[in-house]
Amino acid sequence: MKRRDFLKAGAIAAAASAFNAPKMGAAEEGGVSVKRYTEIGKTGLKMSDISCGCGSLPSASLVLRAIDKGITYFDTAPDYGKSETYIGEAMKNIKRDKIILVSKFCTPLPYPSHLPLGTTKDQYIAAVDGSLSRLKTDYLDFVFVHAIGEVDKDKDKELKRLLDDNMLAAYDALKKAGKVKHLAVSSHGPTNMEDLLMAAVDSGHFEMIMPAFNFMKFPKIPDVLTEAKKKGVGVVAMKTLAGAKDMKLDFKGADFAQSAFKWTLKHPEVNGLIVTMKSVADIDNYLPASGQEFTAADERILNQYAHAHGSSYCRTGCGLCEGVCENGVEIAASLRYQMYFRDYGMEKRAMTSYAQLKNKAEACLTCTSATCAGACPYGLPVAEMLRDTHHTLTFNI
């Protein structure tokens, strides 16, 4: 065995030993842990209210540490780097029925690699089989039609992707084979998010939706959430940190992330949320919000954050500026990848994803019309932000 493999195996074994050891739980030892579990719609599956987004998962040992803290829900995808592989490495030390594993109809190519309209039934099935192989498990609890509203600005085309007969036939076959239990859909826009998610809820095919939902955007999402609850469709929220801007604000010892989580979780339609966890420090920082009530102090913190960052945070599910650009620049996607780079610390993923856009912000460098200037209802300096985005995410310019 190579030295690096030996060291990695030792780290996983040590974490597994800690996970399986018959000792007091984290809460009893004075540490943080999950305090609330909620059923996802009518599926019978209960998730930790604050759960692990695995888009930047660094290791198998972090999965084991998260479970030790009470986290039960893990959101991954084939195009999240080595995320599925790391979870697979951890699976040998995990009782499968103690966690909820979800992945996406995607390929392992760089993000985003969502399966497009026109994908065959066999290709959908092969995508899930690939995920199961990497995850070292026999089944997924949920498989997602991922990022609806992102692949095409044409709502009708995205609606066809959402309800694709080949996808539904593949899901039926996978469910009968015991490889997938439930079907879900996610969306962070940038176009038609609310309408597409409402169509998913109304269709009767989906048992869970995952919208972008936070205290700074998406005024029509509550209508979708209300309908989802009425029909027994589960709701897991993402993008709850409203950009996760680098904050040099004085919250007087309080924590912005915890306040943002409590705001999202105060909505009874929301079963839980996922947030990217890249370290033990993230877990320890986020979980104190589990099971806690939203307070007036939390409201003040969110107002302070909104005042500081409201004019620089692109509500990427809004899409109201998308139709005004004469050059067809993919505005919301470009600014979302800039957010990944600047605020999320996902530099490689941001630059790789930006490079794949068909209509990047390069045109903004020489544009003089600035038709986007007044298109943002939140007053963002869109043209200036796009020029900065192109400089940040592109080499050799």
In the numeric block, the tokens 């924590």 are attached to: 255
Q: How many CB atoms lie within 10 A of CB 303?
A: 13
Residues belonging to the chain:
397
Q: What is the DSSP string of 213-249?
A: --TTS-TTHHHHHHHHHHTT-EEEEB-TTTT------
Alpha carbons 115 and 175: distance in angstroms, whole number = 19
How far is the CA of 142 from the CAs of 25, 46, 73, 176, 328, in angstroms? 28, 13, 11, 14, 35
Tokens standing for residue 291:
């099971």
Closest CA to 278 of 7, 2, 61, 114: 61
For residue 248, what pLDDT is reported?
57
319: number of Cβ within 10 Å: 17
Residues 6+ apart with CB under 8 A from 349: 55, 56, 81, 110, 111, 340
Q: What is the pLDDT of residue 62?
A: 98
Entry pTM? 0.81
pLDDT at 10: 47
Structure-token pair, residue 378: 């939140």
Answer yes or no: are the C-beta atoms of 356 and 150 closer than 8 Å: no
Give the domain ranges of the chain.
30-304, 331-393
- Rounded Cα–Cα distance for residues 379 and 360 (Å): 22
Please say whether the beta carbons of 93 and 64 come within 8 A. yes
CB of 304 closer than 8 Å to CB of 250: no
Q: Which residues in the chain come in under a pLDDT of 50?
A: 1-28
The CATH fold of domain 30-304: TIM Barrel (3.20.20)
Cα 67 from Cα 4, distance rounded (Å): 25
- From the list 109, 171, 94, 163, the residue with the least C-alpha distance to 140 is 171
What single DSSP character describes residue 313? -
What is the pLDDT at residue 333? Answer: 79
